[in-house]
Amino acid sequence: MPAYKAPLRDMRFLIDEVFDFHGSYAANGADDATPDMVSAILEEGAKFCEQVLAPLNRSGDEEGCHFENGAVTTPKGFKEAFAQYAEGGWMGLASDPAYGGQGLPHSLGLVIGEMVGSANTSFGMYPGLTHGAMAAIGAHGTEQQKQAYLTRMTEGRWTGTMCLTEPHCGTDLGIIKTRAVPQADGSYTISGTKIFISAGEHDMSENIVHLVLAKLPDAPAGTKGISLFIVPKFMPNAAGEAGERNGVVCGSIEHKMGIKASATCVLNFDGATGFLVGEPNKGLNCMFTMMNHARLGTGMQGLCNGEASFQGAIQYANDRLQMRSLTGAKFPDKPADPIIVHPDVRRMLLTMKAFNEGNRALAYFTAQLLDQTHSPDEAKRQEAEALLAFLTPICKAFMTDTGLEVTNLGMQVFGGHGYIREWGMEQLVRDCRIAPIYEGTNGIQALDLLGRKVLGSQGKLMLGFTKLVHKFCEANAQHPQLQGHVGQLAGINRDLSEITQRLGMAAMKNPDEVGAASVDYLMYCGYLILGYLWLRMAVVAQGKLDAAKGDAAFYQSKVTTAEFYFARLLPRTAGHKSAIEAGSASLMKLAADQFAF
């Protein structure tokens, strides 16, 4: 298993030099997030992830979770690691001080989340789901609910889940069967079965707070009749602590391809006591708070597994001797050259590096927008919220698809050794494979982007981003070293507007055009966004090189990787454009019964 090392230099480059988190923190009134404080948190977070979580990654995969008589036991060391995580205050880092949190910016919490997920993706599922549940309760719960649940979840004593999926339905939540019956005391009895519930049962916390979608007896049909309920595993007693067992039991855990140390549960609710969150029949709006949090977290998993894979691959490529360079021996004192001298190995490594560092920039750019949604300036809040609406499905889908590509390349760099479990590279592929599937498949994310966010807003959300890119390209059109890349990006940006207009017209005649184009449209947007972010990084890095300031090797690697991205990866947009323009005819022409032999 590759030994994880937090990429602090790259993180600080984005935080300090590209996005100026510190300036944003000051503007948003986050006075406690001083540069010294942020640096100390990064150092301590790296130490915890490298020394505590990373060593449990392979052993957790080998052992997996244990299920017996409705109880789940996590792999050896996980319970103790979670206790350290909670005691270190990591659960409450970016949480509301009113409920025991430290109140630091959400972007800083996301940076720590990257380290956790890179060191041990399975472990990261437990606090990740809890943070999402806390966000939903914080945004939509009553003050009594916040006091009862958020304080203990912030401490890490209680954890949380998101219970949406049922055996007969996944994304189509309008047909859920779980029922909630109102009681005289204002509570509800919840009955039904939920599946694929991450962290639904485990031994790491005193209580588990389930957020459950269910329908009231008189609920309207479809998604307009969904309500959200808090259903604790143990009912809070008079002192607010975990008391009597509620009517929710784990029926089984899934036997999965990856993230085996994360318990994925079937939960049976049998007359369990629940408490309404928000208004009746408005539960989907409440749950979207948690779902959007989870989608960003899932997108990060593509980056996290990709980073771990790259770290293993680059070390192996420098150590593994195989053949001689095509242009002559580079290490004549050795029996063969390290494989990093070979063009195809460099293609794989540079693709991994370009996607990882580009996706990290995308994640941090998005995290900064999350901070700005709490800005005292209403105009900035609205601008940030609009950009987030556009970027969220792209973050989830693009980062997980490219993250899976990166982990596959990492395994390929190892050759046959990559297929062997002891090296740890195949685990990263298995762990990453779920990310394009859950929290709404990437196909659903693409429909959300094109159908709801872009065409549903008549292009306004898309234009908010393309204007941002346009202004950047205008400002850097005459850049001495990078103007060629700027022109390339500007052209792809213009094409997106034209593609969107044509799609809107085609969709008015045939709605299948949206479904046929959506995945390619999302990927086109993803490559465009990474191009914009790579140019931002290259402009900063080139400026440092011109001024002869700082680590020249680091800044040169940024400029060179940007060149690779624009030469080798950004041109993929042309293929996606062609597929979009091909329309739906070739997809829908074959009759359903003609798929069979």
Please list the helix, strand and coil fractions of the chain in percent, rounded to the nearest 5, in that order. Answer: 60, 10, 25
Element (H, E) at 71: strand 71-73
Confidence of residue 312 (pLDDT cuts 50, 70, 90): very high
Kindly give, in sequence order, each residue whose CB lies less than 8 Å from that of residue 387, ignoring residues fewer than 6 positions away: 369, 461, 464, 465, 468
- Record the tokens describing residue 49, joined without a space: 């992830």
CA-wise closest residue to 501 among 468, 531, 473, 462:
462
CA-wise closest residue to 201 among 307, 296, 65, 103:
65
* Rounded (5°) CA angle 561-564-568: 150
4-13, 190-199, 221-230, 267-276: least confident range: 221-230
C-alpha to C-alpha distance for 251 and 148, rounded to whole angstroms? 27
The values of phi and psi at residue 182, to 5°, are -65, 145
* Rounded (5°) CA angle 83-85-87: 65
- 122 contacts 56 by C-beta, under 8 angstroms: no
C-alpha to C-alpha distance for 582 and 503, rounded to whole angstroms? 11
Element (H, E) at 212: strand 207-214
Strands 188-198 and 234-236: unpaired
Taking residues 521-540, report their average pLDDT: 98
- Is 171 a residue whose pLDDT tops 80? no
Share of the chain above pLDDT 90, in %: 92
Taking residues 189-201, report their average pLDDT: 97
Taking residues 405-421, report their average pLDDT: 97
What pLDDT sits at residue 2? 76
What pLDDT sits at residue 291? 76
Tokens 């390290």 found at: 338
439 is catalytic: yes
- Record the tokens describing residue 560, joined without a space: 């060179």
C-alpha to C-alpha distance for 271 and 266, rounded to whole angstroms? 16
* Rounded (5°) CA angle 126-363-278: 55
What pLDDT sits at residue 222? 87
Q: Reduced to 3 states, what is the DSSP secondary structure of residue 42?
A: helix
- 535 contacts 486 by C-beta, under 8 angstroms: yes
Marked catalytic residue, from 439, 474, 513, 581: 439
Domain edges within the chain: 287-442, 447-589
pTM value?
Answer: 0.97
Q: Reduced to 3 states, what is the DSSP secondary structure of residue 488?
A: helix
377-381, 466-470, 481-485: least confident range: 377-381
The values of phi and psi at residue 264, to 5°, are -110, 115
Position 82: which residue type?
Answer: F
- 365 contacts 333 by C-beta, under 8 angstroms: no
Q: What is the DSSP letter of 208?
A: E
R_g (Cα) of the chain, nearest Å? 24
> Helix and strand tally (H, E) in the chain?
20, 11
C-alpha to C-alpha distance for 575 and 353, rounded to whole angstroms? 22
Half-sphere exposure of 388 (CA within 13 A, CB side): 21
Tokens 């090296």 found at: 423
What pLDDT sits at residue 31? 87
Distances (CA, A) of 184 to 157, 261, 550: 30, 41, 68
Cα–chain-centroid distance for residue 51? 23
Q: What is the pLDDT of residues 447-476, one digit of tens each?
A: 999 999 999 999 999 999 999 999 999 999
DSSP letters spanning 255-287? --SS-TTS-EEEEEEEEEEEEEESSTT-HHHHH
What pLDDT sits at residue 408? 98
Confidence of residue 596 (pLDDT cuts 50, 70, 90): confident
Share of the chain above pLDDT 70, in %: 100
Q: What is the pLDDT of residues 49-83, one digit of tens each?
A: 999 999 999 999 999 999 999 999 999 999 999 99
Strands 207-214 and 188-198: unpaired
What pLDDT sits at residue 192? 97
Position 465: which residue type?
Answer: F
Q: What is the pLDDT of residues 223-272, one digit of tens each?
A: 899 999 999 999 999 999 999 999 999 999 999 999 999 999 999 999 99
Q: Look over the chain and give the mean of its residue pLDDT values, rounded to a whole number.
A: 96
- Is 289 a residue whose pLDDT tops 80? no
Q: Which CATH number fits domain 287-442: 3.50.50.60, 1.20.140.10, 3.10.20.600, 1.10.510.10?
A: 1.20.140.10
CA-wise closest residue to 573 among 463, 511, 470, 498:
498
What pLDDT sits at residue 332? 95
Taking phi first (over 0 means left), then psi (-120 to 50 degrees means alpha), and beta for anything else, what does residue 459 get? Answer: left
- 123 contacts 116 by C-beta, under 8 angstroms: yes
